[in-house]
Structures are given as C-alpha cells and as structure tokens.
C-alpha cells in the first residue's frame, strides 16, 4: 500500500485541480502571528493596519493597565512591527504597507516617550548612522529612539552617511559606542572602511552593527565590530560598555549570538 501523508495527497490533488488551494488572505496570515495577549494584539493589529490613532488608543489601554511606557516599545511596538516584517518577507504584503506600519510604530515610540515622567540624565553619548549608500533608516530610527529612551544622548547622523563623516563625528563627540545599520549586501562593506579609519586615527570605539544585511560572522571581521540582532541590543551594548569598558573580547563574548 502507498504510504501517503495527508499533506502530500493534498498537494497532488491541488496540482491536478481536484482540490482547491487554500490561500490565506493577508489579514488571516496576520491573525496567526499576532501576540495572544488581547492588549498586545490590539497594538500589533493597529501597526499592521498602519492606523496611528489606533496604535495610540491601544497603547493607552496598556498604560491604563499599569505598563511602563518605555518597556512598551520593546514588548508591544516591536513585536507588532515584527508581524509586518514577517508578512513582507513571505510576499504576503507589499512595501507601502511596511512603510505605513513603520510610521505608525514610530509614532507609537514617540508617544511612549512623552509618557515617561522622569527625563533621564544623559548617561553617555552614542553616534548612530546608516551605512554609506543605504537609505534604509527604519531600524536605525528604532535604535536611536530606544537609546534616547534609556537616557543616552544620541547624535543621529541619518542615512547614507559618507565614511569620513562618520569618522569625524566619532572624533568630535567621543561616544561610548558608534552604531551602524546596513540592509544591503552592497553597503555593509562601508563598515569595514569606517572601522579601518577609526583604528588609523586611534579612535578605538566599539562599533555596534546591525540590520538585515549583516551577521555576527561579518561584523567580527573588523576589529571594533560587535554584532546586535535586535534594536534593543544596541542599548545593552552601550550600557555594557559604560559599566565594563570597551575591551572587544569581553564585549564580543557577552553579545555572542551563536
Ligand atoms: C522599507 C524598505 C525600503 C524603503 C526604505 C525606507 C526607509 N526609510 O527605511 C525604500 C522603499 C526606500 C527601499 C529602497 C530600496 N530597497 Co528596500 N527594503 C525595505 C524592506 C521592505 C524593509 C526594511 C525595514 O525597514 N525593515 C524593518 C526594520 C525595523 O528592520 P531593520 O532595519 O533590519 O532593523 C531591525 C534589526 O536589524 C535591528 N537593527 C537595525 N540596525 C541596528 C543597529 C544595531 C547596532 C543593532 C544592535 C541592531 C540594529 O533593529 C531593528 C529591529 O529590532 C526590506 C525587506 C526586509 N524584509 O528587510 C527591503 C530591502 C532591504 N530593500 C532592498 C533593496 C534592494 C532596495 C532598493 C535597492 C530597491 C531598488 N531597486 O530601488 C532600494 C535601495 C535604495 C538605497 N540606496 O538604499 C533589499 C536589499 C537586498 C540586499 N540584501 O542587498 C531588501 C532586503 C528587499 C529584498 N528582499 O530584496 N527599501
């Protein structure tokens, strides 16, 4: 007897037009990815729909329930954006949706920041930038917002920043760390150039790098590089450097993702 799994059989029946393929609508696909908690789900749903007002309303519900406004960035807003990124990666939604969702999420971050009563005194400075040639700045904006929310003074150089401008900013501001974001395999090599120019000038500042194009293996090919997967890792790296100094071996061991 033939040993068919149910899924194999469905695939064959669909191929021969005996069975209709079940395709999920974007809304149904999103529904499967939302957090289970109803209050967190409301935030994710509003981000998915790109509805800024609904994001604020959903955040208000969480704030009324006693949640810390800054923790909500990590616990409610970023998971909401992760749903959108996952749907885009699977080809279920398109770029304009991602852009609208990102705007709604960034609006939510700004709102959470207005809800903190204590304005923390700057702990130290961080210089943030997006690699030369690269305009993808949504991730960098999250990194900068989280660092600011945690009490760092952020010098945000923006996107598509020339290598020399990055090096100059490090020389001027003497930050605790420098952050770099690259989403394209063609732009990530600018990080090596930044690194080499910093070393040449004796500016041995830890260089936290992230963004879809890079991984730990690549980032550790240059001497000041330390990899971070999530935006919140930039905050942890900056705090770690303030507390423990900038020894690269210790830093890399602490933030090893493998
Ligand atoms: C939005 C988007 C755009 C927007 C960017 C708008 C903006 N202001 O950013 C626009 C429309 C302008 C755009 C243009 C292009 N894009 Co585009 N874009 C995207 C898309 C859909 C989403 C990127 C995004 O914002 N993700 C959400 C954010 C939150 O993620 P993130 O940046 O990775 O950040 C997270 C982490 O990585 C981390 N992080 C980020 N930085 C740092 C730093 C540190 C220190 C740490 C610790 C962590 C960290 O924190 C964040 C959350 O935790 C991606 C597809 C994808 N799935 O990534 C393609 C994508 C990046 N784009 C791509 C391409 C090719 C282009 C274009 C060349 C298209 C074209 N032919 O014109 C142009 C490039 C122009 C240029 N010179 O840069 C490719 C890159 C392929 C590659 N590997 O090289 C991708 C991957 C799409 C694809 N699959 O082909 N794009």
- For residue 213, give the ligand 1 atom closest to its CA: 83
- For residue 228, give the ligand 1 atom closest to its CA: 47
Buried b (16+ CB within 10 A) or exposed e, 165-184: ebbebbeeeebbbbbbbbbe
Q: Quickly tell me which residue has 């981000």 as its tokens.
A: 47
213 CA distance to ligand 1 middle (Å):
8
Q: What is the pLDDT of residues 65-106, one digit of tens each?
A: 999 998 898 899 988 988 987 888 788 888 788 889 988 998
Q: What is the pLDDT of residues 161-186, one digit of tens each?
A: 999 999 999 999 999 999 999 999 99
Sheet holding 125-130, edge to edge: 153-156, 125-130, 177-181, 207-210, 225-227
212 CA distance to ligand 1 middle (Å):
7
- CB-based contacts of 45: which residues, under 8 Å, 6+ apart? 30, 34, 54, 58, 80
Burial grade of 43 (CB within 10 A; 0-12, 13-18, 19 or more): buried
At 14 the pLDDT is 65
| Residue ranges of domains in the chain, CATH in brackets | 7-114 (1.10.1240.10), 125-254 (3.40.50.280)
Return the percent helix, strand and coil in the chain, to nearest 5.
55, 10, 35
Distances, alpha carbon 84 to alpha carbons 104, 136, 159, in Å = 12, 16, 22
Distances, alpha carbon 34 to alpha carbons 7, 230, 232, 248, in Å = 25, 19, 20, 38
pTM: 0.79
At 6 the pLDDT is 65
100 CA distance to ligand 1 middle (Å):
14
pLDDT at 207 over 90: yes
132 lines ligand 1 (CB under 6 A): no
């Amino acid at each position: 007897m033939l040993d068919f799994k149910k899924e194999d059989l469905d695939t064959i029946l669909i191929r021969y037009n005996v069975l209709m393929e079940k395709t999920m609508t974007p809304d149904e696909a999103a529904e499967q990815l939302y957090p289970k908690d109803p209050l967190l789900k409301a935030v994710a749903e509003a981000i998915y729909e790109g509805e800024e007002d609904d994001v604020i309303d959903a955040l208000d519900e969480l704030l009324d329930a006693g949640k810390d406004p800054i923790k909500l960035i990590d616990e409610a807003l970023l998971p909401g954006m992760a749903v959108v990124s996952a749907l885009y990666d699977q080809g279920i939604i398109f770029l304009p949706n991602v852009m609208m969702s990102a705007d709604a999420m960034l609006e939510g971050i700004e709102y959470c920041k207005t809800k903190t009563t204590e304005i923390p005194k700057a702990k130290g400075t961080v210089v943030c930038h997006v690699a030369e040639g690269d305009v993808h700045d949504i991730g960098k904006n999250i990194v900068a917002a989280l660092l600011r929310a945690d009490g760092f003074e952020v010098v945000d150089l923006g996107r598509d920043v020339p290598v020399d401008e990055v090096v100059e900013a490090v020389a001027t501001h003497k930050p605790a760390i420098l952050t770099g974001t690259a989403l394209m395999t063609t732009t990530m090599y600018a990080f090596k150039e930044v690194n080499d120019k910093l070393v040449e000038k004796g500016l041995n500042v830890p260089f936290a790098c992230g963004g879809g194009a890079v991984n730990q293996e690549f980032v550790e090919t240059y001497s000041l590089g330390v990899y971070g997967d999530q935006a919140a890792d930039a905050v942890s790296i900056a705090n770690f450097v303030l507390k423990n100094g900038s020894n690269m071996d210790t830093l890399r061991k602490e933030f090893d993702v493998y």
